[in-house]
A and B are shown apart, each in its own frame.
Chain A
């Protein structure tokens, strides 16, 4: 079995954004351009997260999802602001393959059971945003780490699995966007608690951090944002196609400055690195790539 490398695209309005601790969002460009680039360079799946949806109580990615699904033939997970079975139906109809539930699941855990029964467990990803407390416990948060729930993470992961979650996406809010590496203690605790695949998210700043998460926390997938986005910005510059960001703080993009903690890397580079260190990865044949026609 290969490790899944999953570019995660946080989306606000029409733009791909990236923050630190899920806050302070910077605009990076058009999500579809990044998505296409990642597909063509061997991404195993994609995650689209509507990062302001919870604030407004709705997911607004339907058009972006549909445009993506027309040209990208790998699994797409969509999250953010999905509250009801109807919300889930809508994004699946738009072209998503899986949905990530956080706030709705914490408020009403039974939605996991119901959604899993209707759409199949493998369609339901439970996303957990964890923040470490002074006493060492991890508590689950909602609304991009803003809203405390008092729910303890490990027990919640176990409950989510029992209710029918097909995967757990575990985010360390403390590490997210920092480049300090995944929270291995947190990730390890979750993989030990559940039998379903676990996807680690939040913190990698170098390729070595990815290897660590696989070797030391037995994850099934790695969600990666900054590393890939900054690599594409450095090499690809989506602005070159004439489509630039339309809103948000684009100054950092214009100045060309990138975070010094980050050592950006592309998917192929990452996969070759992991492969050379004994982590099996899918290296696709360099043949025809659909989606350009």
Chain B
């Protein structure tokens, strides 16, 4: 019982409700603390970057607090990072949301909007709000081994809320694809120990909780 528990920093840059992320961590026994202090993020055992809302404002808030560099340092130390929703998008290089914005650029790629087709009766509704399937790109189940999706069934449903989606430059980082109104996009990716999901695992029932459990095991390494 003397062992020190790994602690994950839930990065607070004023953009979202962190309660559910903390509850999910608690549920799987992952000790978490909410912080907007770059020093605490820099030295944490791991970090979760959640978020909803606008990319530009999110990045502005991160930079103002020095959290962007803190996360770069954490990643450089080889500690795991999990980006969720807007957090996933900010890990990429840039977004076209309300003008061009630079992201953390930890994984090369960009963020684009679901194309609206007005007037069409079967038109795409944006944001996508609801449950949608994850499809493994190839070689399931092996390709999800040692990733946060380990143990998740191919075709499993997760809960999504978003108007923009990630387009990583290297298709090799894509962990899962999801199709919304005919648009197939990257719904999770992994590069080294950077993991990201467009969906909200903490809102996706038991299957989503499994992702937290997997992330906990990475934090313990």
Binding site for B on A (CB under 8 A): 1-4, 39, 44, 69-70, 73-75, 92-97, 119-123, 166-167, 195-197, 218, 220-221, 282, 284-285, 287-290, 293
Q: Select which of A74, A92, A288 is within 8 A of B19 by beta carbon.
A: A92
In the complex, chain B residues whose CB is within 8 Å of the CB of A39: 205
Known pairs A39-B205, A284-B157; A73 contacts B20 (CB<8 A)? yes
Say how far B114's CB is from chain A's closest CB, in angstroms: 11
B23–A1 contact, CB under 8 A?
A: no
- Report Cα–Cα, A46/B93, bound state, in Å: 35
B17–A4 contact, CB under 8 A?
A: no
B130–A195 contact, CB under 8 A?
A: no
Q: Select which of B27, B159, B162 is within 8 A of A75 by beta carbon.
A: B159
Question: Which 3 residue pairs of A and B lie closest in terms of their CB atoms, listed nearest first?
Answer: A120-B53, A120-B52, A282-B157
Say how far A42's CB is from chain B's closest CB, in angstroms: 8
Instruction: Tell me how many residues of B have a C-beta within 8 Å of chain A.
Output: 42
In the complex, chain A residues whose CB is within 8 Å of the CB of B181: 1
In the complex, chain B residues whose CB is within 8 Å of the CB of A73: 20, 23-24, 27, 202-206, 208-209
In the complex, chain A residues whose CB is within 8 Å of the CB of B205: 39, 73-74, 284, 289-290
Known pairs A2-B130, A166-B129; A284 contacts B206 (CB<8 A)? yes
Looking at chain B's contact residues, the main secondary structure is mixed
- Report Cα–Cα, A96/B23, bound state, in Å: 12
A285–B203 contact, CB under 8 A?
A: no
- Report Cα–Cα, A287/B19, bound state, in Å: 25
In the complex, chain B residues whose CB is within 8 Å of the CB of A70: 23, 26
In the complex, chain A residues whose CB is within 8 Å of the CB of B157: 2, 282, 284
Say how far B33's CB is from chain A's closest CB, in angstroms: 16
Interface mask (B109-128 → A, CB under 8 Å = 1, otherwise 0): 00000001010010101111
In the complex, chain A residues whose CB is within 8 Å of the CB of B202: 73
Q: Select which of B26, B123, B161, B207 is within 8 A of A195 by beta carbon.
A: B123
B17–A93 contact, CB under 8 A?
A: yes
Interface mask (B4-20 → A, CB under 8 Å = 1, otherwise 0): 00000000000111011
Additional pairs, 20, CB under 8 Å, beyond known A2-B130, A70-B23, A73-B204: A1-B128, A2-B157, A69-B20, A69-B23, A73-B202, A73-B206, A92-B17, A96-B17, A97-B203, A119-B53, A120-B53, A122-B52, A123-B17, A195-B116, A196-B125, A197-B125, A197-B129, A218-B121, A287-B206, A293-B27
- Report Cα–Cα, A221/B128, bound state, in Å: 12
In the complex, chain B residues whose CB is within 8 Å of the CB of A95: 19-20, 23
In the complex, chain A residues whose CB is within 8 Å of the CB of B36: none
B52–A75 contact, CB under 8 A?
A: no
With CB as the reference atom, state the residue of chain A lying closest to B209. A290
Among A94, A122, A196, A220: residue with most chain B CB under 10 A: A122
B220 within 8 A of A: no
- Report Cα–Cα, A143/B201, bound state, in Å: 35
Say how far A191's CB is from chain B's closest CB, in angstroms: 9
Pairs A–B under 8 Å by Cβ, sample size 13? A2-B131, A39-B205, A44-B159, A70-B23, A73-B203, A73-B206, A73-B208, A96-B17, A122-B52, A195-B126, A196-B125, A285-B156, A289-B206
- Report Cα–Cα, A167/B206, bound state, in Å: 25
In the complex, chain A residues whose CB is within 8 Å of the CB of B210: 288
B40 within 8 A of A: no
With CB as the reference atom, state the residue of chain B lying closest to A290. B209
With CB as the reference atom, state the residue of chain A lying closest to B52. A120
B180 within 8 A of A: yes
B206–A288 contact, CB under 8 A?
A: yes
B153 within 8 A of A: yes
In the complex, chain A residues whose CB is within 8 Å of the CB of B153: 285
Q: Select which of A119, A220, A284, A289 is within 8 A of B130 by beta carbon.
A: A220
B61 within 8 A of A: no
Q: Select which of B118, B159, B161 is within 8 A of A74 by beta carbon.
A: B159
A97–B206 contact, CB under 8 A?
A: no
In the complex, chain B residues whose CB is within 8 Å of the CB of A3: 130
User: B49-100: which have CB < 8 Å to A?
Assistant: 52-54
B129–A285 contact, CB under 8 A?
A: no
Q: Select which of B161, B180, B207 is within 8 A of A284 by beta carbon.
A: B207
- Report Cα–Cα, A92/B14, bound state, in Å: 13
- Report Cα–Cα, A28/B72, bound state, in Å: 52
In the complex, chain A residues whose CB is within 8 Å of the CB of B54: 120
B125–A220 contact, CB under 8 A?
A: yes
